[in-house]
A and B are shown apart, each in its own frame.
Chain A
Amino acid sequence: MTLPVALSLLSLLLSLFTLLATAGVYARVRTLEQAGGGAQLTDQPQAVPAGLRPGAGDTHALLFLLDAGCGICKGLWETSVRPIPGVRVLGLFTSQEVASTFDGGVEKVADPDLWSAVYEGYAPCVYVIDPAGRIVARRFVYGDTDVPALLSELLPELSDSGSHHAS
């Protein structure tokens, strides 16, 4: 093999490598561009851990995510959280100490792992969970939220499991 032939073979190899590298980068950019670009305008499927699913015989679970630092959590708990027949109504807290400061006859769950599995950056939140453990609806609750109206907006869904949540 002469030197010119060796050199041209080498440069051929080099250009082949460049071509492959460019194609690889292009494919990577394409995947990045399309990442998450599928179905954004749908409800994001979110599942909760088994400990938060509705009990046997319940159609849904109504979960109040509360924390110690929020000013309106206590008011929400005291005025609006009531047992509903056929629905597991529960409050979810970060710790037992926080849970013990909330009085009431509804089920209280204190578990940091469960809490952080559901938490989306805001408390208080109301979640409706179906028997398979999927979140059907989620609402942020504010100081001026009409909670009875909110619950009655969520309650028709509780009797009609397949429906999509309205506005």
Chain B
Amino acid sequence: MVAVISTNTRLAPDGARVEISLPPEAPALEWHGNTKIGGPSFLRSFGLAQAGQHRVIPKKIFPGGHTETFRREGFDLVVYESADRTDSCLVWAGPYNEATTWFGGPLPRRSLLNRIVSSVAFADSPEGATVKPALPAMGLQQFANMVYGVSDQLWVTVKDVRTSRDELPAWRGAAQGDAEVWKEKLDLDADQAGALSGTPYEWRYILANSTAVLELFFPQTSATMMRANDAAEHDRVTSIVSGVRAVWAA
């Protein structure tokens, strides 16, 4: 009983093409990504999101803070610093997507920011932005690439199987089509664990196929807690877990 399946093609931060198919029971997701770039005296992690996410920073995260925008070709560079100078970030804001790196302290001096900006190459497209080492000569490595979709009902994380094979459980999973599936109990507090005991919400689901590792997680919102014993909701979770597919084409 395969119904209409929506396929999302997203670019991973390193430029890999990721195709994620979701069954119609799945909610609409907002796409994010993560990557790390490191090398000699350089290590930064970058969070990618769909355009416009950084607009909350001056309003909600750093109210009254310092903001500066620099126009580059095809994107804006925006630096934010909180009013008490305890945190700051740098955003590459493209028309479709954006990348953010956080400093966890006052804004670094200009020469360092310049070095960060010139060490990575940001390129935007409707299917996702890429953040890569700018020049091979600098000896920078890119790792911990991931693409994830978020909604209040479902989180889907997709990684390359070649780099995340070690994170898979050591025991054998159940076979599902071309994938192997595991479930792992979530680390819940006693109240939640009691309320969700015996439901599909007390697990996270890990799927591995020949190209990708997926992780599915159904957040413990108040709506989920209310519907925790609804059989139709259990069927929905089951059909999402059994219907999701992903291909990581590096």
Q: Kindly name the residue among B52, B95, B96 whose own CB sees the greatest number of chain A CB atoms within 10 A.
A: B95
CB of A111 within 8 Å of the partner chain: no
CB of B67 within 8 Å of the partner chain: yes
CB contact under 8 A between A44 and B52, given known A32-B135, A37-B115:
no
| A interface residues, how many (CB within 8 angstroms) | 26
CB of A5 within 8 Å of the partner chain: no
Give the residue name and chain of the A residue nearest to B75 (CB).
Answer: A120
Pair B52/A142 contact, Cβ less than 8 Å: yes
Pair A122/B96 contact, Cβ less than 8 Å: yes
Which of A42, A125, A142, A167 interacts with B67 by CB under 8 Å? A167
How many angstroms from the CA of A41 to the CA of B69 in the assembled complex? 9
How many angstroms from the CA of A40 to the CA of B114 in the assembled complex? 5
CB of B118 within 8 Å of the partner chain: yes
Pair B114/A121 contact, Cβ less than 8 Å: no
How many angstroms from the CA of A138 to the CA of B94 in the assembled complex? 12
How many angstroms from the CA of A135 to the CA of B76 in the assembled complex? 14
CB neighbours (8 Å) of B125 from chain A are: 121
Q: Kindly name the residue among A32, A138, A142, A167 whose own CB sees the greatest number of chain B CB atoms within 10 A.
A: A167
Give the residue name and chain of the B residue nearest to A32 (CB).
Answer: B137
CB contact under 8 A between A122 and B95, given known A32-B135, A138-B71, A165-B69:
yes
Pair B74/A121 contact, Cβ less than 8 Å: yes
Pair A37/B118 contact, Cβ less than 8 Å: yes
CB of A137 within 8 Å of the partner chain: yes
Pair B138/A121 contact, Cβ less than 8 Å: no
How many angstroms from the CA of A112 to the CA of B79 in the assembled complex? 35
How many angstroms from the CA of A40 to the CA of B69 in the assembled complex? 12
Contact code string A30-56 (vs B, CB < 8 Å = 1, else 0): 001101111111111010000000000
CB distance from B92 to the nearest CB of A (A): 11
Which of A33, A40, A140 interacts with B113 by CB under 8 Å? A40
CB of B51 within 8 Å of the partner chain: yes
CB of A29 within 8 Å of the partner chain: yes
Pair B114/A29 contact, Cβ less than 8 Å: no
CB distance from A165 to the nearest CB of B (A): 7
Pair B95/A121 contact, Cβ less than 8 Å: yes
A residues at B contact (CB < 8 Å)? 29, 32-33, 35-44, 46, 120-122, 125, 135, 137-138, 140, 142, 165-167
Extra pairs beyond A43-B70, A166-B69 (9, CB < 8 Å): A41-B68, A41-B113, A41-B114, A41-B117, A44-B71, A46-B73, A121-B74, A121-B95, A125-B95
3 pairs of A and B residues whose beta carbons are closest in the complex: A122-B95, A40-B117, A37-B118
